[in-house]
Amino acid sequence: MKDQIKRLAKERNAIILAHNYQPANIQDIADLCGDSLEMSIKAAATDADIIVCCGVKFMAETAAILSPDKIVLMPNPEAGCPMADMVTPEALVKRKAELNGIPVITYVNSSAAVKAVSDICCTSANVVKVVNALDADKVLMTPDRNLAEYAAANTDKEIHLWEGYCPFHNALTVDDIKAAKATHPDALFIAHPECRPEILELADAIESTSGMIRFAGESDAKAFILGTENGLLHPIAKAHPTKTFYPASEKLVCTDMKKTTLAHIVNSLETLSGRIFVPEDIRIKALGAVQKMINMK
Ligand code: 13P
Ligand code: SF4
């Protein structure tokens, strides 16, 4: 199937993007892997005719928002993000009005329709930068409460929270971390900002998925406990073969991130199935929020 994918991708001038949480065999056949921010930027820069986005729906929608002239395919369109489903455009517009129209910063883990009613997007890699760059003392952040609390701890601004969360990162407990640290006492603990504040307090570093890969390379430490989805174990170990990586918990497995298979990719490239369409009126508005984030230096 790997050869078939390479051949089909070449014939169709398609580029394959994979998120850092994708199954190992999918990351290995992808042209580009990365975190959500890198995927957005790479999707915008490619000159391919087709983008095959291996991840979850909000990532494919972001590619479609940025590349209206390209065909964006999601090999398995069933792969969603439960956190993204915790906010609707209607509820967000209502809350913004209740807060006298303060700016809304929306995590890219959200639908195109939610981005369309937001002022700017952010990812786990740039959230603090985005909050600090906004010309406002008060902001509303959606949908991830934990990411918002992390940002609040790193800025003087008043941050209003939305009660959303990632069911996997949010399930990590202090006891999980204590147990992992007791088993691997020499390892540093790197946490994703989607973890709860009491978990972030125990972390030696707080990073996006690609930030974790960079941090492990720059650190003198030889071993690391990863407080994120366990798919990251593959690219991080591949990038740093002399270092050791342990999951903070075996339960950190995002079921949606594992829904895409090589067979889905073959089928999608053969039949152009799984095409993602974002209605043009929503796309234009969502583009404003995503592009503002990408343009931020
Ligand atoms: P990153 O942007 O850090 O890759 O995270 C995406 C995600 O879905 C985290 O759960
Ligand atoms: Fe969504 Fe969590 Fe899965 Fe990331 S790990 S895609 S936030 S459910």
**pLDDT (tens digit per residue) in 236-283:** 999 999 999 999 999 999 999 999 999 999 999 999 999 999 999 999
* Tens digit of each residue's pLDDT (9 = 90 or more) over 4-39: 999 999 999 999 999 999 999 999 999 999 988 788
Q: Which atom of ligand 2 is nearest to the CA of 81?
A: 1
Nearest partner of 143 among 112, 105, 173, judged by Cα: 105
User: Which whole-number Å values give the CA distances from 233 to 174, 226, 239, in the listed order?
Assistant: 21, 8, 10
**Closest ligand 2 atom, CA of 255?**
3
- Secondary structure class of 120 (helix, strand, coil): strand
Q: Are 140 and 102 in contact (CB under 8 A)?
A: yes
pLDDT at 37: 78
Interatomic CA distance for residues 169 and 56, integer angstroms: 16
CA-CA distance, 254 to 216, in Å (whole number)? 22
Q: Measure 280 CA to ligand 1 centroid, in angstroms.
A: 26
**Ligand 2 site residues, Cβ closer than 6 angstroms:** 56, 81-83, 109, 166, 168-169, 194, 229, 254, 256-257
Instruction: Specify the residue with its C-alpha closest to ligand 2, atom 2.
Output: 166
Question: What angle do helix axes 262-271 and 2-12 make, rounded to 10 degrees?
Answer: 30
Ligand 2 centre distance from Cα of residue 229 (Å): 8
Count CB atoms within 10 A of the CB of residue 45: 11
Q: Report the residue among 110, 121, 130, 194 best suited for mutation to probe ligand 1: largest number of ligand atoms under 8 A from its CB.
A: 194
Residue 74, burial from CB neighbour count under 10 angstroms (0-12, 13-18, 19+): buried
Per-residue pLDDT at 297: 63
Q: Tell me the pLDDT tens digit for each residue of 49-64.
A: 999 999 999 999 999 9
With the most atoms of ligand 2 within 8 angstroms of its CB, the residue from 110, 229, 230 to mutate is 229
Q: Look at residue 46 in the predicted model and tell me its pLDDT.
A: 83
Point out the ligand 1 atom lying closest to the alpha carbon of residue 229: 10
Query: Helices 57-66 and 280-295, interaxial angle, to 10°?
Result: 90
* Long-range contacts formed by 272-277: CB under 8 A, 24+ apart: 272/50, 272/71, 272/73, 273/73, 274/73, 274/74, 274/75, 274/76, 274/77, 275/71, 275/72, 275/73, 275/74, 276/53, 276/57, 276/60, 276/61, 276/63, 276/64, 276/72, 276/73, 276/74, 276/77, 277/64
Compute the distance from residue 7 Cα to the ligand 2 centre, in Å. Answer: 31
**Whole-prediction pTM:** 0.95
The ligand that comes nearest to the alpha carbon of residue 84 is 2
Residue nearest to atom 5 of ligand 2 (CA): 254
**Cα separation of 245 and 42, whole Å?**
27
Atom of ligand 2 nearest to the CA of 84: 1
CA angle 13, 44, 147 (to 5 degrees): 130
Which residues have any ligand 1 atom within 6 Å of their CB?
20, 35-36, 109, 123-124, 166, 194, 208-209, 229
- Write out the two tokens for 81: 């993000």
Q: What is the pLDDT of residues 193-236, one digit of tens each?
A: 999 999 999 999 999 999 999 999 999 999 999 999 999 999 99
- Tell me the average pLDDT across 281-291: 96
